[in-house]
C-alpha cells in the first residue's frame, strides 16, 4: 500500500502546472513577482501624513486659551468667560480638521474674550472697592466692632 502511494506521488511530481509542484517551486525559489503595494487612503494624502516634503508640515497648534477662559468665567465675568470657552473649544476642532486659518482665528477670538473678561473683572473689583471705601461702610463696621454685636444682627 505504501508503494502505491509513492507511485501516485511520483507521477504527480512530474506533471507540469500541477498545484503541488508550483507550491514546491515557490518554497524553494521564492515568489516570481513582488506583491502590489497597499492602497493609499486619500484622506491621509490630504493631511500630509505620508508625505515627506516640508511644505506639507502643519503649523504649530495655536494656544486655545481654554484654561484662561475658565478662570475668567469663575472669577471675573461669566458672559465673557463663556464666549471665550466656546471659541477655545473650537480651536482644537478646527486644527484637527486641517483648517489651520480657522483655528488661528478662533484662538485669537478666545484670547480677546479672555482679556476683555479679565479687564472687566478688574474694573468691577476696583469700582466695588471704591464704592465700599467711599460709602458709609467703614462707619457701620466700626459701630459693629464697638458694640460687640454680630454682622448677622443687621
Residue 16 lies in a domain: no
Residue 96 lies in a domain: yes
Residue 85 lies in a domain: yes
Residue 37 lies in a domain: no
Digit-by-digit pLDDT tens for the chain (154 residues) are 555 555 555 554 555 555 555 555 555 555 567 777 777 665 555 555 545 555 678 899 999 999 999 999 999 989 999 999 999 999 999 999 999 999 999 999 999 999 999 999 999 898 888 877 777 666 766 776 776 665 565 5
- Domain housing 142: 63-153
What's residue 100's pLDDT? 94
> Helix %, strand %, coil % for the chain, to 5?
70, 0, 30
Residue 115 lies in a domain: yes
Residue 141 lies in a domain: yes
Domain count, the chain: 1
What's residue 44's pLDDT? 55
Dihedral sign computed on CA atoms, order 87, 89, 92, 96: negative
- Long-range pairs for 100-104 at CB < 8 Å and ≥24 separation? 100/58, 100/59, 103/61, 103/62, 104/59, 104/62
Residue 111 lies in a domain: yes
How far CA 154 is from CA of 87, 99, 145, 150, in Å, comes to 44, 59, 13, 8
Residue 106 lies in a domain: yes
Amino acid at each position: 500500500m505504501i508503494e502505491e502511494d509513492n507511485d501516485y506521488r511520483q507521477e504527480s511530481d512530474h506533471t507540469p502546472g500541477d498545484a503541488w509542484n508550483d507550491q514546491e517551486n515557490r518554497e524553494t525559489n521564492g515568489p516570481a513577482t513582488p506583491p502590489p503595494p497597499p492602497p493609499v487612503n486619500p484622506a491621509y494624502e490630504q493631511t500630509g501624513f505620508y508625505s515627506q516634503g516640508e511644505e506639507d508640515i502643519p503649523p504649530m497648534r495655536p494656544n486655545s486659551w481654554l484654561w484662561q477662559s475658565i478662570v475668567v468665567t469663575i472669577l471675573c465675568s461669566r458672559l465673557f468667560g463663556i464666549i471665550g470657552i466656546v471659541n477655545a473649544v473650537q480651536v482644537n476642532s478646527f486644527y484637527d480638521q486641517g483648517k489651520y486659518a480657522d483655528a488661528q482665528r478662533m484662538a485669537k477670538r478666545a484670547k480677546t474674550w479672555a482679556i476683555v473678561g479679565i479687564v472687566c473683572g478688574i474694573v468691577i473689583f476696583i469700582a466695588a472697592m471704591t464704592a465700599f471705601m467711599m460709602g458709609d461702610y467703614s462707619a457701620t463696621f466700626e459701630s459693629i466692632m464697638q458694640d460687640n454685636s454680630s454682622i448677622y444682627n443687621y
